[in-house]
Amino acid sequence: MSLHLQRDLEKLKKEILKLGTMVESAINNAILALNNREMLYVDEVLRLEDHINEMEVKIEEDCLKILALHQPVAGDLRFIVVSLKVNNDLERMGDFAKNIAKRARELMQEEPISTLPEFVNELPNLVRTMVRNSLDALVKLDVSLAREVIAMDDKVDEINRAMYQEVTRVAKENASKTGVAISLLSTSRYMERIGDLSTNIAEDVIFMVEGRVIRHDD
């Protein structure tokens, strides 16, 4: 590997980590907005989202520049391909964080309702852990950690399915609360999608290390 290629790859890794840190912060603030019903968290998510979008464009440009200038092969090529995919997944996570924050802003205008404890506590913790561990797995090229992230996705899906049942229950018992319940279900779905994107990153780590795609494995 040439020194120029090595330098550019190190810079790219730092940029991905910087983007990941911003996305983690956006997700944390979105969940705080939802649980604490405070506008300052919404404002912070919207501020971060602008930076996330700018960073995503820059990383894509840098990846394409490296491909054009250095024509990398083997492991270096896999790293750049994965970086492009992770870059896109992180930007989409930022979009979902923004969606959660906007939904939280709407819910602040409504009387809160009781909902599943798993949705309030367990789901946000699972999603935040999946995001953080998928990025750690990427940095450390840790296949075991990546597989742990993938395994956590089943529980996220389970809680999201339970939220559908909860909306049905609320609608039957108190039709006037159906709109609020549906809004909460939307935030559950957004968190579930963030979990899916974390799983994508974890699968890409395994591809980068082992050179094989596991996305469609049974």
Which residues, including other chains, have CB under 8 Å from residue 19's CB and lie 6 or more apart? 52, 55, 56, 59, 87, 90, 91
Measured distance CA(182)–CA(215) in Å, rounded: 31
**Is 218 a member of any domain?**
no
Instruction: Give me the half-sphere count of Cα atoms (radius 13 Å) on the Cβ side of residue 136.
Output: 12
φ, ψ dihedrals at 214, nearest 5°: -110, 5
**Is 215 a member of any domain?**
no
**Is 184 a member of any domain?**
yes
**Is 86 a member of any domain?**
yes
**Is 183 a member of any domain?**
yes
Which residue has better confidence, 115 or 215?
115
How many C-beta atoms surround the C-beta of residue 185 within 10 A? 20
**Is 200 a member of any domain?**
yes
Residue 36: pLDDT above 70? Answer: yes
Measured distance CA(124)–CA(23) in Å, rounded: 14
Residue 139: pLDDT above 90? Answer: no
Average pLDDT in the 32-54 region?
A: 95
Nearest residue to 70 via CA among 1, 11, 13, 12: 1
What is the CATH classification number for the domain harbouring 135?
Answer: 1.20.58.220
Residue corresponding to tokens 């040439």: 2
> Given its phi and psi angles, is residue 71 left (phi above 0), alpha (psi -120 to 50 degrees) or beta?
left
Average pLDDT in the 72-94 region?
A: 90
Q: Please write the tens of the pLDDT for every residue from 90-108.
A: 999 999 999 999 999 999 9
As a whole-number percent, the residues of the chain with pLDDT over 70 amount to 97
For residue 148, the model assigns a pLDDT of: 97
Residue 24 and residue 52 in contact, taking contact as beta carbons nearer than 8 Å: no
If you ran DSSP here, which 8-state letter would residue 215 be given? T
* Number of separate domains in the chain: 1
**Is 192 a member of any domain?**
yes
φ, ψ dihedrals at 114, nearest 5°: -75, 145
Residue 100: domain span: 3-210
Measured distance CA(23)–CA(88) in Å, rounded: 12
Q: Where does the pLDDT of residue 113 fall: very low under 50, low under 70, confident under 90, or very high at 90 and above?
A: confident
- Least trusted range by pLDDT, from 32-46, 62-76, 98-112, 187-201: 62-76
**Cβ neighbourhood burial of 212 (10 Å; 0-12, 13-18, 19+):** exposed
Q: Which amino acid is at 79?
A: F
**Is 90 a member of any domain?**
yes
Residue 4: pLDDT above 90? Answer: no
